[in-house]
Amino acid sequence: MTMGPERIRRQKSLRFLLQEFALRPSDVVLPLFINDLPAGSSRDITSMPGVRQWTVDDVRPFAARAVEAGVRSFILFGIVGKNTKTASGEAAWDREGPVVRALRAFRKDFGTEVNLFADACFCEYTNHGHCGPITISGLESRREHAETLVGLGKMSTEYAEAGANVVAPSGMVDGMVRHIRGALDAEGHPDVAICSYSVKLASSFYGPFRDAAENAPEFGDRRGYQMDPGSLREATREIMNDEAEGADMLLIKPGMPCLDLIRLAREKSALPVGAYQVSGEYSMLKAAAQAGYLNEEASFLESLLAMKRAGAGFIITYWAMEALAALRKV
C-alpha cells in the first residue's frame, strides 16, 4: 500500500519541519487605545474582554511589560472627550493630544527598539464620528475631500515629529497616500513609512472598536467611503492606487472575512501586506472561549495562521501578547 501525506502528519517532528507557514513573534502588532484623561483614569472595555482604554501615564508600564514579553510593534489610537471634539476634528493633530504624548513617551522609554504605528483618521476626534469634515445637504452627508486631506497631512507630520516611524491612514480617502507622502517629505520626515488601510470594508465586525474609541457615527454610516464587501474589482483598484501613490505597506481589514482580499493584495502588489484582526473578530472568539464553545488559544492561533497563509506579513491583533506566550510553548 502506498502511503500519502498521512505518513508525515503522523509524526510531530516532521509536521514542524515541513510546515509551510508559521507565525513568528515579529508578525504581531499590538493596538493600544490612549485617552486624554489624568493618570488613574484607564478603564476596561466591556465589549472587548482583556482590552483597556489607557491614559498616557498608565500605559507606559503596561507597554514596558509588553516589550519585555516580546512585542516589537504597537499601533496607537487616540480618544478625546466630547468637549474636545469638533466638526473638523483638529484635536487629531494637537501637540498635547493623547497619541502625540504617547508617541513621545514610548520613544523615550524604548528608543528605536519598537515600531510605532500611528493611526491617522478623524473619527475619534469629530463630534459627528465621521472620518473627515462633513457637509450636510438635505438628507445627504458628504465628506469634504480637500479639507480631509489637509488634516491628514497635519496629523501625520505631528505623529512623525513625536516619534511614529509608521503613519497608518485609515479613512480610505482618495489620494491620501500621495498627500501624506508629500506632507511628510516636506516637513523633513522622508524615512517615515506609510501603512495604508488600502482595503477597509464597511464591516459589521467593528462594533466593539466603536465602544473602545468612542467614535460611532452620530448619523448615517461610513459606507460612502469604506468599501462594499462585495466589490472585488474595487479592492484591486484601491491596492494598485495606493502602491502607485507611494504606500510602503498595505493593510487589509477585517482579517478573517478578507482572506481572499489578503491573497489578492499579495498577488497584485510587491509591497508588504498586513491584516487587521478587528475588534469583532477578537470579541467573538473571546466570548466563544469564555462560554466553553472554543479553545481560546487554539482558535486564535488558527485564525491568525489563516491570515498568514493568505499572504499577511504582519497582523494587528488585540491578542498579541497571548500569541507571543503561545508561540513560546512551541
Give the residue numbers annotated as catalytic, written as ranges: 200, 253
Three-class secondary structure assignment of the chain: CCCCCHHHHCCHHHHHHHCCCCCCHHHEEEEEEEECCCCCCCEECCCCCCCEEECHHHHHHHHHHHHHHCCCEEEEEEECCCCCCECCCHHHHCCCCHHHHHHHHHHHHHCCCCEEEEEECCCCCECCCCCCCEEEECCEEEECHHHHHHHHHHHHHHHHHHCCCEEEECCCCCCHHHHHHHHHHHCCCCCCEEEEEEEEECCHHHHHHHHHHCCCCCCCCCCCCCECCCCHHHHHHHHHHHHHHCCCEEEEECCHHHHHHHHHHHHHCCCCEEEEECHHHHHHHHHHHHCCCCCHHHHHHHHHHHHHHHCCCEEEECCHHHHHHHHHHC
